[in-house]
Amino acid sequence: MPSTNPRNYDATPSRKVAFLGLGVMGYPMAGHLALAGHEVTVYNRTATKSIAWCAECASAKAPKHAATPREAAAGADLVFCCVGNDDDLRSVTLGADGAFAGMKPGAIFVDHTTASAEVARELYAAAQALGLQFVDAPVSGGQAGAQNGLLTVMCGGDAAAFEAAQPVAMAFSRAFTLLGDSGSGQLAKMVNQICIAGLVQGLSEAVAFGQNAGLDMKQVLEVIGKGAAQSWQMDNRGKTMVDGKFDFGFAVDWMRKDLGLVLDEARRNGSRVPVTALVDQFYADVQKMGGNRWDTSSLIKRLS
């Protein structure tokens, strides 16, 4: 569920919405929609999680759970989704039990999965053929951002669909921005992950270097964090890296999935991403160490 921190929901009129996928991100995101006064129906592959979500949201406006994506999407103005990968996304959208089969004409599907730009364009075309609208809208901010309703959302699609979805999605977002045509949101998320990969590896090397040199690295990070080296990663993961704690959210397995998308797209568009490719292999080393579920700052474990 969302954080208990107070959240100022705006005066967006109540809408009938569905949310597909109640993982570590989707569960609190759907909760923010319910707390904002929307009528939310949820679907999750493991039904017990949907049932638990409804129990936690019992005081909200008629929370419901459905047995299939199609049932969840029936009659909804907007269908939000956050699942694992391209194949998961196809499984909840297409086919007889998919959301597209249940959505009313003109309804909007907003996909928060980090997936390929190719599948975004594929599903955009499929939605258009059915008289539906599709926005690819991957998020940044991690589990804490989802719980606190402070996600940054990168969108691709048509302006009309984006503008209709934005006021509702602001229930769990601090920024919800249209960046171009279908697929642009996914491409922007890839840019985000390229930046993070390089930053975390640089921070790992810096902390390990300082420790080997005998410095008090928490003090050093306090000092350099006020200068040009400052970054979100330094502010939020530097000291926990020093402490050897790696249970703060976005897992190595998920990062490797995302970097795989980056490398595939780079091959398609001719981009050279040598640092990203190298860091992807470093994360593979962390997986071999048993760190699949450690957070991304665990790159430093390779250097200890």
Tokens representing 1?
A: 């569920």
pLDDT category at 3 given cuts 50, 70, 90 is low
Of 181, 213, 245, the position where a domain reaches its end is 181
pLDDT band at 298 (very low <50, low <70, confident <90, very high): very high
- Within 10 Å of residue 38's Cβ, how many Cβ atoms? 26
CA atoms within 13 A on the CB side of 165: 34
Give the sheet arrangement for strand 78-81, strand by strand: 64-65, 39-43, 16-20, 78-81, 108-111, 133-136
Do 164 and 201 fall within a single domain?
no
Judged by phi (left if over 0) then psi (alpha if -120 to 50, else beta), residue 183 lies in left
Round the average pLDDT of the chain to a whole number and report it. Answer: 95
Catalytic residue among 16, 49, 104, 189: 189
Residue 189 annotated among the catalytic residues of the structure: yes
The mean pLDDT of 20-40, rounded to a whole number, is: 97
Q: What is the pLDDT of residue 101?
A: 98
Q: Looking at 166, 181, 196, which one is the last position of a domain?
A: 181
Both 244 and 207 in a single domain? yes
**Alpha-carbon gap, residue 110 to 95, rounded angstroms:** 18
- Provide the pLDDT for residue 12: 77
- Domain check: are 153 and 205 in the same one? no
d(CA 252, CA 283): 7
| 105 and 216 part of one domain | no
Structure tokens at 140: 């940044």
One domain for residues 193 and 107: no
As to burial, measured by CB atoms within 10 angstroms (0-12 exposed, 13-18 middle, 19+ buried), residue 23 is middle
Q: Is the pLDDT of residue 164 over 70?
A: yes
> Residue 263: pLDDT band by 50, 70, 90 thresholds?
very high
Instruction: Report residue 216 as tokens.
Output: 């008090």
| 115 plus 150 within the same structural domain | yes
Give tens-digit pLDDT for 100-120: 999 999 999 999 999 999 999
pLDDT at residue 134 above 60?
Answer: yes
Structural domain total, the chain: 2
Give the residue, 250 or 90, on which the prediction is more confident: 90
Q: What is the pLDDT of residue 301?
A: 97
Instruction: Tell me the C-alpha distance between 146 and 136, whole Å.
Output: 17
pLDDT value for 13: 85
How many Å apart are CA 214 and CA 26, to the nearest integer?
Answer: 43
Q: What range does the domain containing 120 cover? A: 16-181
Do 175 and 30 share a structural domain? yes
Residue 304: per-residue pLDDT:
85
Instruction: Out of 116, 150, 181, pick the residue that ends a domain.
Output: 181
Instruction: Let me know whether 119 and 238 are in one domain.
Output: no
